[in-house]
Amino acid sequence: MSLSEVDFLHYNSHILIPEIGDVGQEKFNNATVMIIGLGGLGCPVAAYLAASGIGRIGLCDFDSVEKTNLQRQLLFSENDIDKPKVEVIKKQIGKINKRILVDAHNEKFQDLVSDADYDIFIDCTDNMDTKLFINDFCYRAKKKLITGSATRLEGQIIGFDFEKNSKCCLECIFDKSGASQFNCSDLGILVSLLGMMGCLQVTMTLNMILGNFKKHGIVSRFDSFESQWIELKPSNKVNCPICDLLKQEGSKFVQHK
């Protein structure tokens, strides 16, 4: 779909950037992206994907808004308590950009995989089992995946382009024993860090759409207390149940079919 005169005006700040231009903005408008988990990361991700003009956005979460969400999940208000998160955010980002399509899936991602037809998947969940399931699905379906997390004063983001690179996946980097580090409900979280990491997930998504993604499997970790970034290079885990081709038939995604 080409840009209209109204689109040129609306997305002018993007189009003026040589690395994006009208061709890049058309790519954004034609892209499809699913967000899994609509909490502290998912809220800024949804807002900035909409503002960027992503043509079709899928929202996946089975939770309702709770009062304890309001301080760190900024698309919700007290009037939204007990409402499904997907419906509230669909309405909110529709106000940000009425030109986009938004699919609301009020269910677990594990129950949605047969209908999950999107170019890129953004994992904003705080549950390791779910993260590994999403990783498994994206690896097998050869999809692009951006997974993020934040607890206390640290956040991290990892991108995978399984369409072009089958080496290294999330299972190589983490396993279920590390699940607790992603639970901000128990460990606490610096609110501004969620906004920062969510925006970085969106920026990585836009780079993927533009064909400018070069950090497959690299863990980018930010320590907000020290204002310090570190990067960890990827490596394949021996006998990884996902990307070790000899072990694929034992993966969790197969068991959930």
Report pLDDT digits (tens) over 216-228: 999 999 999 999 9
Where is pLDDT greater, at 240 or 102? 102
- Partners of residue 120 on adjacent β-strands: 33, 144
Calculate helix-pair angle for 191-210, 42-52, nearest 10 degrees: 40
Three-state DSSP at 223 gives strand
Q: Flag whether the pTM goes above 0.85.
A: yes
- Partners of residue 152 on adjacent β-strands: 189
Report pLDDT digits (tens) over 14-58: 999 999 999 999 999 999 999 999 999 999 999 999 999 999 999
Average pLDDT over the chain, rounded to an integer: 90
Stretch 203-223: mean pLDDT? 96
What pLDDT does 113 receive? 87
Give the amino acid at 202.
Answer: V
Report pLDDT digits (tens) over 87-144: 999 999 999 999 999 999 999 999 998 888 999 999 999 999 999 999 999 999 999 9
Q: In the 8-state DSSP scheme, what is residue 104?
A: E
- pLDDT over 50 (residue 249): no
Where is pLDDT greater, at 180 or 96? 96
- pLDDT over 80 (residue 235): no
- Calculate Rg over the CA atoms of the chain: 18
199 has catalytic annotation: no
Helices assigned H by DSSP within the chain: 5-10, 12-15, 21-30, 42-52, 85-96, 128-141, 170-173, 184-187, 191-210, 252-256
CATH architecture label of 31-256: 3-Layer(aba) Sandwich (3.40)
Q: DSSP for 143-175, please give it.
A: -EEEEEEEEBTEEEEEEEETTT--S--HHHH--
Pick the catalytic residue: 60, 138, 184, 243? Answer: 184
Within 10 A of 111 (CB to CB), how many other CB atoms are there? Answer: 12
Q: For residue 251, name the pLDDT band (cuts at 50, 70, 90).
A: very low
What pLDDT does 184 receive? 62
Residue 201 structure tokens:
């997930």
Report pLDDT digits (tens) over 146-161: 999 999 999 999 999 9
Determine the Cα–Cα distance for residues 82 and 79; give it in Å rounded to an integer.
Answer: 9
